[in-house]
A and B are shown apart, each in its own frame.
Chain A
Amino acid sequence: MSVTASPAQTAPRPSPQSVRTDIEVSCRLPLLGLFGSGVLWLLLGLLFALIATLKFHNPRFLSSEAYWTYGRMHAAHTTALLYGFGVQTALGVGLWLLCRLGRAPLAAPGVVLVGIALWNTAVTIGLIAILCGDSTGFESFEMPAYVSAMLFVSYLLIALCGVLTFHRRAEGNLYPSQWFVLGSFFWFPWIFSTTSMLLLCLPVRGVMQSSVAWWYAHNFSSIFLGFAGLASIFYFIPKLMNRPLHSYYLAAMAFWTLALFGSWGGIPGGAPLPSWIISLGVVGTVLTTVPLLAVAANLFHTVRHDLNALDNHLTLRFTYVALVFWLLAGVQQIVGVLPDVSALTDYTWFTVAHWELFHYGFFAFAMFGAIYYIVPRLLDWVNPPMWSPGLVKCHFWLTFVGILISYLALLVGGVGQGFLLANPKYSFAQVMMSTLMALRAGTPGDLFIIIGTIFFLLNFALLLLRWGFRYWVENSGGLRKERL
């Protein structure tokens, strides 16, 4: 087991230029497809969430048609976010890290493209099915049985190309980001196939269904999305700080303990299941304190020498915020499973606040940081086109403030709801009316996130246009010279 230094130190090697060009060319179309369609799904999901939120301002809003019912909007929102945005950007960043850290071009980019087209088709069909009332009824696993096979196959097409790229790597030493990427690539097909089998193909009996569905939702977020985000954090923070990662062994400990304990949990305290299952989940979640502390110590030791550098690079800014939100979400999750707390906070907006913080605060921020770095280098590694700095700034601050507003509103509303619900003196209607204020206060946050995402998409389109124009000028210039 040899110690690998930071990715920044792995530069000088025979003809790194040609390897970079190979990676640039092989990754360009697949990754642009994954990131572009991923962020479009994010925007769509956010719009569904906005419709759902507006129903707390006026329950009659869009209530005349079945498509726009709160329950369907809620399911459509999580599906677009988790499967459209989450899986695709996680795969995109993962593929790029495998290429870059393994010094190998992406294997079979054509197959990846087919996979992306299939995946997007499947998510589209699944989303339409949900809007038409064909959801499965299991949270975070709402797409119906007839698309699950398509989702599974298209995922395998993309992820197996990643594994093949990893197999063909020229760099023998593994960097922690590679473990995290491989972990997330490996986790999804297992949980997805198990859950499809046990919930849709050969349904298990009774509450076993809920047990499987909770296990799936917890693993999907904590491990699959969590590993993908952490891979990006572990890569970009040392690389852009131009410093080696503080400790390779601490990273290894964080990885294995998170894989082991982070995958237990997600079951509410009073669920009608045998209590050993609930207790095991609580124990696992409390033990995620270990990876939480290990990641925090490792990365804060890496950045502590030069905190000002965080401002200089926009990728670094996004990534650092993602790291802080991951730690906060982890702490909230640990506090939230303690039996005395969960008796208050289960089934309240407290858990939704955690969901927002984890998916928007941690995951989306980590992915955007990576996308800001990767996309220009896909187009032209030597002379990467520039993002519009104003739009980036708008995107960062709007999303950041938006997440803070909607998170704090949900957190305060959730804790208040928990305390009032615990006291049977207050009728349920009274409890609901008192949390309504907090819910409504969170709506501007959702709007900010939407506007921020639109700014990102605008910037993305401008970048592509700028690059396309440059490409066209260079090529037509070349043609003219030949003619002369």
Chain B
Amino acid sequence: MAISDVKEYTHLSEEEIEALGRELDQIRADIEASRGAADAAYINRLITIQRTLAAAGRVTLFASKYPPAWVAGTAMLGIAKILENMEIGHNVMHGQWDWMNDPEIHSSNWEWDTAQPAEQWKHSHNYVHHQFTNVLGYDNDIGYGILRMAREQKWHPVNLGQPVYNTLLALLFQWGVALHDLDIESIRKGKKDPKEMKRQLRQIGRKIRRQIGKDYVLYPLLSGPAFLSTLKANAAANLMRNVWSYMIIFCGHFPDGAMHFTEEEIEDETRPEWYLRQVLGAANFEGGPLLHVMSGNLGYQIEHHLFPDLPSNRYREISLRVRKLCEDYGIPYTTGPLHRQYGQALRTIWKLSVPNSWTSNDTPPPPPSRFRGRRSDAERPPRRIETGIWQGRASA
């Protein structure tokens, strides 16, 4: 069975899937050819705004014993952290700005303002999640090893606590993310290389020391008598960032309509089929420009998954073309207002805390797929050698 047997596009012939792939390649080529001074100005301006906000927030909080200063400083710092993590850090580490050839804004050496070391994020997110998007057993982002997010995942009494775990995850999101690449599940199963685990833990420890030192020791100390109120303000700013980024990220793959895949479905996957899986496995949300900037343009999750390394400020323009393609080819394109998308994710968390038989499925199960049997090499479309297909899987 191949991915092309999934219900949503069994109506597409191999030629049509190839043609769709070419259309998407063309979008990439067009955007790459038109990247220029305006895009560079965008990210530079955004970085300036973010750093100015962060500095202003920190300075304002030296007066944090006065409530208006506390509120203003916390808001500025919280917004700065959100911008840094989402529209700047996440996207820079994806290599969206590598084309500028500016070593100060480059995926190879960017470090972000959160507890997880950039190197581990690039592995767990850029590689594992973006290559194996929504593939059960491969993509650790399906519930982050904490929540049961797919009906295909086996129920366990532990799942009854999901609503609680979910709340804790939202509040402590940066710490959850920090431990993500350790892959708790593989540690539990005793599959994790202890040497690698020690190396990762040391790296996380170093990063956490610096993050905590800054937010909970140094800046409070610098505010003198306002030690405690600055500490609380910094905690509130981190909390703002945690809850917001948690919510945006949960809207990426958990609303109804974002599909899960099995190992068999991605066997012999071609590049155009990979594209298709990205469209079917992701969900967008709608909103104005400010909402999109504050969410790192992840409201264009589908476009981000198709082209994770194209500049985020171009996703809106890309989405118009992708949406048109989906209409032309009859492929579902999941989107909706933010509150509805998050509401659906939340409903899934609650429903899947109990066994499947107690609840109804929000996405009706696909009809039995048209079984074509395994194709021989001669029957498969030619592979694109440069994409390497799945040679890298073993190292995940």
Verify that A and B bind, or say they do not: no
